[in-house]
Structure 1
Amino acid sequence: MQFARFGGPAAPGGADPLGPPQAPARSRKRIFLAGGITAAVLVAVGGSAAYGYAGEVPRGTTVLGIELGAKSKADAASALRAGLAGKSDRLEAPLPVRLGERVVEVKPADVGLTVDVDATVAAAADSGGGPFSRLFGSREVAPVVAVDAAKADEVLRGALGKDAQAMKMPAVTFSGTTPKATYPKPGKGLDAEKSAQALREGWFGIHPVAVPLVEVHPVTTSEEVDKLVADLARPAVAGPVTVTTERGAVTIPASAIAKSLVLTADKSGKINPRVDEKKLRAALAGPLAKVEVAAKDATIALKAGKPAVVPGVDGHRLDTAALSKDLLSVLPKADGRTVAGTMTTAKPKVTEEAVAKLGVKEKVSTFTTKFPGGLSSPRSQNIVLVSKETKGAFVMPGATFSLNTHTGERSYPQGYKDAPTIVGGKLVPGAGGGVSQFVTTLFNATYYAGLEDVEHKPHSYYFSRYPAVIESTIYPPHLDFRFRNNTPYGVLIDTSYTSSTITVSIWSTKIYESVKTEWGPRRNITQPQTKYLEPGPDCIETSGLPGFSQDAWRIFRKDGKETKREKFSWTYQAEPRFICAKQPG
């Protein structure tokens, strides 16, 4: 008997009145089996998807052989950094680079070659396909490489060296006041971006990395050079420019414009016209003297026999920095070539406060030499004149004093007279003869003050009015006398004279207890020879002097002890006995 579901009688023909017809028993078993297989497949697929998508980076992903698969981005970045640290030898190894026909080695650090870890991990995370490729695939992801394009360009240009073909840069120069054009030509060189790209792509590829050489062109063209000549260079020197100031007018001649107008190119080949302030000021040295007054630094002078601060004095100066810019606006014009100049106050470089702190408080040394002939002789007058020019000279700590620089030219226009000087081994008249006696006096004053000797040269012949070895001559421009103020205090030079003496004193702060000289014995003594000279007004006779060699030591004492000694040595030639007459037959 068949029963309906829930226990009711079976319907005729076996139909269940409460549900669909039931399949035969064998069919039902097949359906259950198929359903089970389908469910198993769905479960397997779901499990595979979960397995394949574990982490943010697909399984099987490597970068430079470093496993990053199935990791979060953060963990993958840490793993990549750790792995790269283990490959430092590879990453730091010099990279062969081909530049034209030359192969050079470049250190990755020098050009900023690095692996961008975060960008590489991001690329690795995006590298997977569908679930089956993530499940069964393996993939090597190329690292993302960073490079410092500016550093790379600098290093590669240096390595390229002579293999580069420099661009011929455009320019407009002046021959006198005539403009001369130089036209640009291309060269062979490097393009920074293309070089950087080649390094990025080739670091982990086939070596050497080929960096391309490209044709490089100056920015300014030949047509633009011609236009620059016509519109600026030629009109600029067609006439003068007048600069008006509150202290008067200054005329800038065409020659000064030509010397200061700069029409040369920068590294890219671009010409940016400008007026060079330093060149303009140098070219206007004469005209500027009409409106400018130099500032005077504060200094020290002796008043009533004691050092006193002399205040500095402001000066007046034309603002040539502003003028050099304003000039550009009028240089192309044929008319209206006038510029309003601005006068500025020029402040002293050395202030009263600074000078007051320099410790000029006492006479440190003094030295006197005697000269013959009285004040009426030309030689004595030269000595007095140079002493007056040097009186009051002030030398800052660390500065070097040059007598030639301080006095300038010593010749007839400055008031110097002819007096005997040694030229070519004999005495001849010359402007400034006798100045060497002042130099010897100044040298000894600085010597006994303990100041640093920079330049001096003793005479060829020995004169008894000077201390042997510790004396000096001078002959501009070849011979100078220089000393350096090697103390932390200022140095004031004072001079005085009588009818037969010249004295130089040094004022500062005394450092040494004493500075003295010890002489060694004279040696290698030679006797003078007799020589006859052509008689005439320029012939000067001498009695002759012996020659010899001698040493002298400058000895410094401080706190009762010798702290230093310096050796000076010199060999004097025997001065011949010169006779103004024809040599006897």
Structure 2
Amino acid sequence: MSSNTVVMPAQRGVPRQEQPSPPAPERPRSRRGVLIAAAVAGVLAVGAGGAGAYATAGDIPRGTEVLGLDLGALSRSAAEKALGDHVATRSAQPARVRLDGKDVTVEPEAVGLAFDVPATVDAAAKSGRRLFGAEIVPPVVRVEQAKLEAALRKHVNTERVTVRRPAITFKGVAPVATYPQAGLDLDGAVAAERVTAAWPTGQVADVPLTTRAPAMTREQVDALITDVAQPAVAAPVTVTVGAESFRLAPAALAKGLVFRADAQGVLTPAIDGAKLRAAGRAQFSKVETAAKPATVRLRNGKPQIVAGAPGRVVDVAKLGPALLGVLTGPAPREVTGVLVEAGSDTSVADVAKLGIKERVSTFTTYFTGGRSSPRSQNIITVAKAVDGAIVRPGATFSLNRHTGERNYAKGYKDAPVIVNGVLEPGVGGGASQFTTTLFNAAYYAGLEDVEHKPHSFYFSRYPSVIESTIFYPTLDLKFKNTTPYGILIDTATTGRSVTVSMWSTKVYDSVKTVYGPRRNVTSPSTVHREPGPRCITSSGLPGFTQDAWRVIRKDGREVERKKFTWRYDPEPRFVCGGE
């Protein structure tokens, strides 16, 4: 039978018909035709095999493109290198965002925006084999959604954000609720999706504000107040640490208990360890030992760095969950705390960077009465309080802030002070002499004068104009360290003098004062006062006006000439009694 003949099987139910006559026998095929057919079949077979080999060459299918780069037929390692080189420049380009109609840019490193080259190559390898055409594989881009949202929120017009998230705060120990409300807001997930899609090709990501419904109801907020907030501040909590203990009052618990909202706006109670410690600082100090920072001290007339020492503090990270476990329960409530080592915020390396190595200024004033007089004692007390203070570059030193109120509890005594132009006994009298000494030391160190006020009367123990009084809290002495080095304030007292020296690295060639002549001199009057313990006699001094210029030289030239002017009132001759 011929090979070109197709025999169809008989169908059931169909009568058998007469058989046709057999066909005429075919002519035998020639050898040449057989060879041609075989050759064609071979070519087809080779073509099929070659096409398969072509399509499966390398790890990446042919025709696979990422950002216009053909990765076809490359191995994974070669593809990762090629793609990494291809996107290197793009990786540093900021993302352009059209945020609620406002054009902003976001730096990639600030929000973790980056190409994930290995993941992109993996996606390309799985894109499928093909003989013809191209497959465009989008790059895999990573971003830290929370950081991106925070960066974008800085540019959002707050008046456009109308969504209201729930909140629970405390006014004293009374919980205060803020109820949620639907409105416009920035959706972090939408922002991340659009930025990662647009940034690889340099396009602008359109990020609108969207309407967001609150994730909590008023009833749920009220339930948190009833079940958590109110019981939490209903009674104190005793914290036992080893053999010692202290009590956290409801007011401190109200400061430490916070209700944090997640990305959807759902509130969860938590303990803010820093706020709790600040509110209960006095109680925590009963069981804690503060860390000692590294500092600088003068030894044998030279500044030396003194290493700090770690402290022992209550581990508020562990205390927080323990407190949450009892705050909803009835009194008495107790938890156990543990101490952990706490290092100092200032290391030896930090102090070394300050460059405190030499004395850059010093100033001395003198007093009478010896060390035992009340006025002398006040000068010595305030000098000790300031001794060793360090003023970092760019920082402003405030004498009132450093010492606090100078009162009896701190060892200050009654001594003459000027009150409303009259000499009267007052606690801390004499502190002005230390203030003048400190002001001059800062003045001759070339530091910036921020705040000072000379006395209303002139005292010969002070340099005219370049002096300062102080009165807590209304009159202060402030100066700013405008040098690139730290300043160590060193104080010393004798039975007749107080000295303040500034130690740092020398910046200026010289700091000097040039005085103008005294003018508008006025004579003192005689004032009779009622005799008694508040009346202090004086011989009186003339009043006058005078100018003084601070002249600073650096690198052989004058860099500052600042004028100071002051008008002294004549100090009356106070007489106790008489007219």
* TM-score between both structures, scaled by the size of structure 1: 0.64
The 3-state SS of whatever aligns with 1:324 is: helix
518 and 242 in structure 1: CA distance in 2 versus 1, 3 angstrom threshold:
same
Q: Which amino acid aligns with 2:343?
A: K
Q: 1:486 corresponds to which residue? A: 482
Rounded Cα–Cα distance in structure 2 between residues aligned with 1:353 and 1:300: 12
Contact 2:235 2:331 in 1 (8 A): no
The 3-state SS of whatever aligns with 2:220 is: helix
Q: Deviations over 1:290-338 (max 9, x none)?
A: 1211211111212222222222111112222443344223322337944
Matches within 5 A, 1:68-79: none
Rounded Cα–Cα distance in structure 1 between residues aligned with 2:558 and 2:222: 74
Matched, 1:240 2:236: yes
The 3-state SS of whatever aligns with 1:535 is: coil
Rounded Cα–Cα distance in structure 2 between residues aligned with 1:313 and 1:192: 47
Give the root-mean-square deviation of aligned CA atoms: 4.1
CA-CA distance at 1:348 after TM superposition: 1.9
Structure 1 segments unaligned to the other structure (5+ residues): 1-73, 75-94, 96-104, 111-149, 197-211
CA-CA distance at 1:276 after TM superposition: 2.6
170 and 564 in structure 1: CA distance in 2 versus 1, 3 angstrom threshold:
closer
The 3-state SS of whatever aligns with 1:272 is: strand
320 and 108 in structure 1: CA distance in 2 versus 1, 3 angstrom threshold:
closer
Q: 2:329 corresponds to which residue? A: 333
Count of aligned residue pairs for this structure pair: 434
Contact 1:247 1:291 in 2 (8 A): no
Q: Which amino acid aligns with 1:395?
A: V
305 and 188 in structure 1: CA distance in 2 versus 1, 3 angstrom threshold:
closer
Matches within 5 A, 1:203-222: 218-222=214-218
Contact 2:291 2:344 in 1 (8 A): yes
Matched, 1:575 2:571: yes
Q: 1:274 corresponds to which residue? A: 270
Give the alignment partner of residue 532 of structure 1, picking from 528, 532, 535.
528
Rounded Cα–Cα distance in structure 2 between residues aligned with 1:190 and 1:562: 57
Q: 2:350 corresponds to which residue? A: 354
Using the TM superposition, name which of 463-472 and 272-281 deviates more: 272-281
CA-CA distance at 1:380 after TM superposition: 1.2
Matched, 1:375 2:363: no
Rounded Cα–Cα distance in structure 2 between residues aligned with 1:554 and 1:327: 59
Rounded Cα–Cα distance in structure 2 between residues aligned with 1:223 and 1:574: 73
CA-CA distance at 1:432 after TM superposition: 0.5
Q: 1:414 corresponds to which residue? A: 410
Q: Which amino acid aligns with 1:349?
A: D
Q: 2:391 corresponds to which residue? A: 395
Contact 1:171 1:182 in 2 (8 A): yes
CA-CA distance at 1:355 after TM superposition: 2.6
Rounded Cα–Cα distance in structure 2 between residues aligned with 1:191 and 1:556: 55
Q: Deviations over 1:136-164 (max 9, x none)?
A: xxxxxxxxxxxxxx99xx99x967948x8
Rounded Cα–Cα distance in structure 2 between residues aligned with 1:501 and 1:552: 24
Q: Deviations over 1:495-551 (max 9, x none)?
A: 222222222222222222321110011222233333333332101223322222211
330 and 552 in structure 1: CA distance in 2 versus 1, 3 angstrom threshold:
same
Q: Deviations over 1:230-288 (max 9, x none)?
A: 32123222333333334733332223222322247678653222223332112211110
108 and 306 in structure 1: CA distance in 2 versus 1, 3 angstrom threshold:
closer
Contact 1:280 1:324 in 2 (8 A): no
Rounded Cα–Cα distance in structure 2 between residues aligned with 1:159 and 1:417: 56
Q: 1:385 corresponds to which residue? A: 381
Q: Deviations over 1:393-440 (max 9, x none)?
A: 233333332222222221111111111111111111110101111111
The 3-state SS of whatever aligns with 1:446 is: helix
Q: 2:465 corresponds to which residue? A: 469
Rounded Cα–Cα distance in structure 2 between residues aligned with 1:268 and 1:414: 52
Contact 1:242 1:252 in 2 (8 A): yes
Give the alignment partner of residue 442 of structure 1, picking from 431, 438, 442.
438
Q: Which amino acid aligns with 2:368?
A: P
Rounded Cα–Cα distance in structure 2 between residues aligned with 1:322 and 1:562: 59
Q: Which amino acid aligns with 2:431?
A: V
Q: 1:521 corresponds to which residue? A: 517
Contact 2:163 2:185 in 1 (8 A): no
CA-CA distance at 1:467 after TM superposition: 0.5
Give the alignment partner of residue 426 of structure 1, picking from 422, 440, 465.
422
266 and 569 in structure 1: CA distance in 2 versus 1, 3 angstrom threshold:
farther
Structure 2 segments unaligned to the other structure (5+ residues): 1-64, 66-97, 106-147, 192-207
Matched, 1:555 2:551: yes
377 and 221 in structure 1: CA distance in 2 versus 1, 3 angstrom threshold:
same
* TM-score between both structures, scaled by the size of structure 2: 0.65
Q: 1:43 corresponds to which residue? A: none
Contact 1:165 1:188 in 2 (8 A): yes
Matches within 5 A, 1:89-488: 106=101, 161=159, 167=164, 170-174=166-170, 176-179=172-175, 186=181, 218-246=214-242, 248-263=244-259, 270-334=266-330, 337-488=333-484
CA-CA distance at 1:464 after TM superposition: 1.1
Which of these two proteins has the greater Rg computed from alpha carbons? 1
CA-CA distance at 1:578 after TM superposition: 2.8
Contact 1:188 1:213 in 2 (8 A): no
267 and 475 in structure 1: CA distance in 2 versus 1, 3 angstrom threshold:
farther
179 and 301 in structure 1: CA distance in 2 versus 1, 3 angstrom threshold:
closer
CA-CA distance at 1:109 after TM superposition: 9.1
Rounded Cα–Cα distance in structure 2 between residues aligned with 1:413 and 1:490: 32
The 3-state SS of whatever aligns with 2:340 is: strand
Rounded Cα–Cα distance in structure 1 between residues aligned with 2:182 and 2:346: 52
Contact 2:187 2:209 in 1 (8 A): no
Rounded Cα–Cα distance in structure 2 between residues aligned with 1:158 and 1:176: 33
Rounded Cα–Cα distance in structure 1 between residues aligned with 2:436 and 2:451: 12
Contact 2:260 2:270 in 1 (8 A): no
Q: 2:29 corresponds to which residue? A: none
Contact 2:379 2:433 in 1 (8 A): yes
